[in-house]
Structure 1
Amino acid sequence: MPRIACLHTIDSNAAVFDEALRMTGLTGVSLHHTVRADLLSSAERAGRLTPEIAAETVAVLRSLSAEVDAVLLTCSTLGPVVEIAAADAPVPVLRVDAALAAEAVKDGGMVAVLCAVETTVEPTRCLFEAAARSTGAEVTVQVVPQAWEAFRAGDLDRYRALIARAARIAREDGATQVALAQASMAGAAALLPEETRPLTSPAVGLTAAVIASRAG
């Protein structure tokens, strides 16, 4: 039974990934959730991922890797630290949005990537542009206005509605694929018609982690 440790920075993301696991149909997988909201809060205050926050995140990821078969970082803002943590970890360490980026750009075209938090924009842009180099996809990354304020206020209905509206507009503006960069945004996809639903990270990220755990 693959054991996957998920490092979250938002409490509600544990339930998001439990539901994603159910929806994927993956069997015999055990998820272990750790929440470190302070890491994202610190990055928001600093306006970026600082070396100090990165070092603390790496330490947490390495600690989690001691007793599982793979570790999945579910926070896009902290994503760049995975490369460091994975270098000497005993099991695969992945960022949830890496699989999302690969899926979003695989057919080329115009890919619109939506974020809710400003601190996510730059690491997301670097990730998606790197993935797009082999496919020729054109990537744009943007923040959904007012979305994070709604999330922080606990108004999840408004949060999802704002994201769904932004995804719809991106399609109308010519995007051939839309991706929701943050795991907390996944619920917005269900508000849109199935044929135009944006890609979300929880299911594809979990699938990648399970595959990596079995390969290891």
Structure 2
Amino acid sequence: MRITCLHTADSNIAVFENTARALGLDQHQFRHVSRPDLLAAAEKAGGLTAEILQQTADVLLALSENTDRVLLTCSTLGPAATLASKSTTVPVLRVDQALAEQAMKTAGNVVALCAVETTLEPTRQLFAQVERHPQARLKTRLVAGAWEKFKQGDLAGYLQAIAVAADAEYRQGAACVVLAQASMTGAAQLTQTGKPLTSPECGLRAALI
């Protein structure tokens, strides 16, 4: 199967390649396209505007022409996958859809950690839309200062800050901690008190169904 991934951070290419290998998906062909400008525009605008939504959907549609699946890996731009899906028969998926579905099957407190402020609202909306366990309770939280570390190139500091935040949520009684952005994935290996869910693993599994 040919899977085309649209990223908004160049470093996420390695994240998805590594996850694919860990899941034993070497038989599939992955193509990666990175458009950091789309996330930068959303950050500058304070969120996902109608113009950025349409621009992202147009990119996704163009990518759908020579592939079997398109996977949007940016949580801030997630709704663009739904918009693009209306104009193509090729499945256009948002990587955090499966993440939300798996997380909300949990009975108890589900905490979705975000690093970028513009990701908070799309994450809340997505998790509210999926089928949930009657006792699932969602909280979204911004990991303060983490994204600045990422933008400064301090990936180790970025992931450590997220791991610390995840451990704190587990200690406070979270039944499930979710790393809402793909760039946060490496933090799951650094936690001490629990194993958070990550979007690349959940999303890639779902894309191949």
Q: TM-score, normalised by structure 1?
A: 0.94
Which residue is equivalent to 2:198? 200
Mapped to 2, the partners of 1:135 and 1:126 lie a distance apart of: 18
Greater Cα offset, 97-106 or 129-138: 129-138
Q: How far off is 1:133 after superposition?
A: 4.0
Contact 2:106 2:133 survives alignment (8 Å): no
Larger RCO (alpha carbons 8 Å, 6+ apart): 1
Equivalent pairs counted in the alignment come to 209
Contact 1:66 1:90 survives alignment (8 Å): no
Which residue is equivalent to 1:86? 85
Which residue is equivalent to 2:21? 22
For 1:1-216, what aligned pairs fall within 5 Å after superposition?
2-131=1-130, 133=132, 135-193=134-192, 196-211=194-209
Q: Which secondary structure does the structure 2 equivalent of 1:65 belong to?
A: helix
Gaps of 5+ in 2: none
Contact 1:99 1:201 survives alignment (8 Å): yes
* Residues 41-78 of structure 1 deviation map (CA, whole Å, 9 limit, x = unaligned): 00000001001101110000000001000000000000
Mapped to 2, the partners of 1:18 and 1:27 lie a distance apart of: 9
Contact 1:39 1:53 survives alignment (8 Å): yes
Q: Which secondary structure does the structure 2 equivalent of 1:72 belong to?
A: strand
* Residues 68-98 of structure 1 deviation map (CA, whole Å, 9 limit, x = unaligned): 0000000000001111111121210000000
| Corresponding letter in the other structure for 1:90 | T
| Corresponding letter in the other structure for 1:150 | K
Q: Which secondary structure does the structure 2 equivalent of 1:17 belong to?
A: helix
Gaps of 5+ in 1: 212-216
Higher helix share: 1
Contact 2:101 2:132 survives alignment (8 Å): no
Identity rate of aligned residues, in percent?
A: 53
Q: Once superposed, what is the RMSD of the aligned Cα atoms?
A: 1.2
| Corresponding letter in the other structure for 1:87 | K
* TM-aligned CA distance change 1:144 to 1:6, over 3 Å: same
Contact 2:104 2:132 survives alignment (8 Å): no
* Residues 116-162 of structure 1 deviation map (CA, whole Å, 9 limit, x = unaligned): 00000000011112225454410000100100000001011110110
Contact 1:8 1:34 survives alignment (8 Å): yes
Which residue is equivalent to 1:214? none
Q: TM-score, normalised by structure 2?
A: 0.97
Mapped to 1, the partners of 2:8 and 2:134 lie a distance apart of: 31
